[in-house]
Each structure stands twice: as C-alpha cells, then as structure tokens.
C-alpha cells in the first residue's frame, strides 16, 4: 500500500521560511503525482502544489506562486515543499497526497477529490 509521511511543520513569523518533507513508499511501476494540500480552520482543503515523478512537471496554486517551490528526490522517494515569504494566511494543516496515473500523459490537477492516497498532516502556523 502507498504510504505518505509528512513532516517539517512548525511555528514561524511572517516573512519566514519552512521546508516540508513528504516521504513516500509503496508505489508500483505506475507513474504518479505527489502533491501538497492544506486546510485552514473552517475552510475547505485546497491544493497547493504538485510534481510528477516521471517528468517533474510542477503545478502551483496562484496563491503560492513565486513563494513556494516543490521538488523531489526520487532516489529517496521524498518530495519537498520549500515555503518562503510566509504569510499568516498560509497557516493551515498541510497534507501530502499521491495520485496514481493511468499514463505519464495523464492530466494535471490540484483538485483534492482526484487524489488517491493521503498522509497525515503537519501543522504550519505563521504569526503576524
């Protein structure tokens, strides 16, 4: 079974940085995406960023473009989310998730309902 373990959350002041890690395991030979999502209190879960294993194509939500960077170390089966210029609005529980693809040409999406496996969350709190 696919397992995902997110880590790296914490408390940071506005303008600061954090790096989240997602350790992934249990994949077969199929291509897949790894993504980061977040859910703030009282809000719906939203997609933040994703990366495809095969071609490392990345996707970002408009709200984080230019501030967050997703990357992967395929040898370690780990995906990172580097978060810079953090704002109080970035406060949320961050989840990593995976999406098994039918082919490497499958569409790209940050819609949570399209994702198959979810890890536990890691809390990011940005103080003003």
pLDDT, tens digit, 9 for 90 and up, residues 43-86: 999 999 999 999 999 999 999 999 999 999 988 889 999 999 99
DSSP codes joined into one string, 59-74 = EE-TTTTTTEEEEEEG
pLDDT, tens digit, 9 for 90 and up, residues 3-53: 999 999 999 999 999 999 999 999 888 899 999 999 999 999 999 999 999
Whether the predicted pLDDT of 98 surpasses 90: yes
**Using CA of residue 112, residue 90, residue 19, residue 60, what is the dihedral sign?**
positive
Mean pLDDT, the chain, integer: 95
pLDDT value for 74: 81
Say if residues 122 and 11 touch (Cβ distance below 8 Å): no
| Residue of 123, 128, 97 whose CA lies nearest to 110 | 97
């Amino acid at each position: 079974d696919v397992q995902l373990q997110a880590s790296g959350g914490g408390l940071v002041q506005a303008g600061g940085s954090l790096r989240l890690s997602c350790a992934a395991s249990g994949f077969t030979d199929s291509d897949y995406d790894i993504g980061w999502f977040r859910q703030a209190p009282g809000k719906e879960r939203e997609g933040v960023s994703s990366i495809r294993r095969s071609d490392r194509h990345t996707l970002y939500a408009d709200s984080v473009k230019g501030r967050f960077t997703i990357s992967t170390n395929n040898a370690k089966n780990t995906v990172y989310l580097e978060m810079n210029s953090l704002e109080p609005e970035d406060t949320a529980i961050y989840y990593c998730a995976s999406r098994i693809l039918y082919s490497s040409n499958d569409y790209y999406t940050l819609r949570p309902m399209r994702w198959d496996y979810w890890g536990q969350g890691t809390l990011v709190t940005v103080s003003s």
